[in-house]
Amino acid sequence: MTGGMKRGLAGRLRTALPAAMALLLACALAGSPAALAQYGGGGGKDKSKSEQKTRRTGAISEKVYRKLAEAQELSEKDDFAGAKRVLDEINQEKLSPYEKAQLYNFYGFIYYSQERYKDSIRMYEKVLAQPEIPPGLYNQTLYTLAQLYFTIEKWQKAVDLINEWFKTAENPGPEPYILLASGYYSLNKYQQMIQPIEKAMAIARERNTPIKEQWWLLLRVAYYELNNLKKVRDILEILVVNWPKKEYWTQLAAMYGELGQERKQVAAYATAYDQGLLTRSNELVQMAQLFLQAEVPYKAAKVLETGFEQGLVEKKAENYRVLSQAWMLAAEDRKAIPALKQAARLSDDGDLDARLAQSYLNLSDYDNCIKSARDALRKGGLRRKDNAQIVLGMCLFEKDRYEEAKRAFRQAAQDKRSRKTATQWITFIEREQARLRQLEESLRQVRRSAAAPAAEAAPEG
């Protein structure tokens, strides 16, 4: 059982036990000697000794009644030590079974109030040991014992007592079934949890009372542990409608993902985002990644961009990388540049610089392309060093820096994955260089040819 569930049970005990004690005393200590007389108590002068000796099981003598009433008054003031002292003054040897049951019941309550749970259990078990105690007292004590065994984490004993209590309980409400399910949960008996929870829900519907959020959560745990993800999804769909919390939306999105319902997964997470429930960096990055998977990169980029502006998304290389990827997939290369620059600046390896170089190449910004590609190669740690050399060579070529470009392509050709492309570029550059040399030679010849007639026509000195 989780800490929260234990605290909930303890809270119910703290409320239920005093109420039960007050009820029992209300029956046993009916207010006045005259009232007690009708149960054989009171010790009125007109009663004979023989009548007093033939008291019925449910009777309490006036002397015992006064002590119990005194203890009750002290307990209502939270003076449990004082109440116990009063009870200790009662001579147990002369008590009837019913009086003993009431006394032990009171001791049980006091010990519980002092958080002496094992002593409390011992007293309540003494109550059950008394012969011919009223069914109401028996059932109430049985249920109280079950709750106490929950408190000390004796799960199997608690479950056994609850099941015993159900045999004689009349029209029980939903809470005992939830208590039973909690016991099965603590025993890792997930299949057994389902029936009592569903019974509790059925009773609540019959009585037109609300089904509590915690009941659904308990049922969700049972189905999750049984790997029934469809049932978990169905329960989460109920939870988001009635208690639209962030955790339920994100869990529902996760269930849709597990079940291969990607469109619903994105929709669930986006609903949480639209409601302003996603405020953590990892949640917003997850939202962006889901939009990317759904092929809506523009929305992914806007989620991250807004998150950065609001200071919600952590400013680290990985998150800037996702933003740049989103802008590039949205065909917004120019918007991808600032994110890539930030990511590259924060990164220890050169992969992001290499990606930045590629973006500059796409935008025909060759000077920045060359710088970024060389930064990538200098940092190292590249997954594809050959690709960075190819990009560098292309940008150098566009700046007419042919020999540097060929050196870059020769480096790229050392990797067999880029050898063909690099070799083609080297061949192309060499042909271009040959063409330019031929063009230059042709221009020189034209210039020489044009200069010769001019020299012949010039007058002699």
Average pLDDT of the residues in 340-344? 82
Query: Is the model's pLDDT at 30 over the cut of 90?
Result: no
**175 in Cβ contact with 201 (< 8 Å):** no
- Give CATH for domain 347-437: 1.25.40.10
Mean pLDDT of 328-352: 83
Q: 173: left (phi > 0), else alpha (psi -120 to 50), else beta?
A: beta
pLDDT recorded at residue 440: 80
CA–CA separation, 444 and 379 (whole Å): 45
CB atoms within 10 A of CB 288: 26
Class of domain 279-343: mainly alpha
Q: What is the mean pLDDT of residues 93-104?
A: 90
Determine the pLDDT at residue 12.
41
The domain segmentation of the chain, as residue ranges, is 1-152, 279-343, 347-437
Q: Where does the pLDDT of residue 336 fall: very low under 50, low under 70, confident under 90, or very high at 90 and above?
A: confident
Q: What is the pLDDT of residue 258?
A: 95
Classified by CATH at the fold level, domain 1-152 comes out as 1.25.40
Mean local confidence (pLDDT), 306-311? 93
Residue 9 has a pLDDT of 39
Polymer length of the chain: 461
Tens of pLDDT along 371-401? 989 988 988 888 889 999 999 999 999 888 9
Listed range (147-156, 278-287, 334-343) with the worst mean pLDDT: 334-343
3-state per-residue secondary structure call for the chain: CCHHHHHHHHHHHHHHHHHHHHHHHHHHCCCCHHHHHCCCCCCCCCCCHHHHHCCCCCCCCHHHHHHHHHHHHHHHCCCHHHHHHHHHCCCHHHCCHHHHHHHHHHHHHHHHHCCCHHHHHHHHHHHHHCCCCCHHHHHHHHHHHHHHHHHCCCHHHHHHHHHHHHHHCCCCCHHHHHHHHHHHHHCCCHHHHHHHHHHHHHHHHHCCCCCCHHHHHHHHHHHHHCCCHHHHHHHHHHHHHHCCCHHHHHHHHHHHHHCCCHHHHHHHHHHHHHCCCCCCHHHHHHHHHHHHHCCCHHHHHHHHHHHHHCCCCCCCHHHHHHHHHHHHHCCCHHHHHHHHHHHHHHCCCCHHHHHHHHHHHHCCCHHHHHHHHHHHHHHCCCCCHHHHHHHHHHHHHHCCCHHHHHHHHHHHHCCHHHHHHHHHHHHHHHHHHHHHHHHHHHHHHHHHHHHHHHHHHCCCC
- Say if residue 3's pLDDT is above 60: no
Same fold: 279-343 with 347-437: yes
Q: Using 50, 70 and 90 to split pLDDT, how confident is the model at 205?
A: very high
Cβ–Cβ under 8 Å, residues 388 and 354: yes
Whether the pLDDT of residue 264 is over 50: the answer is yes
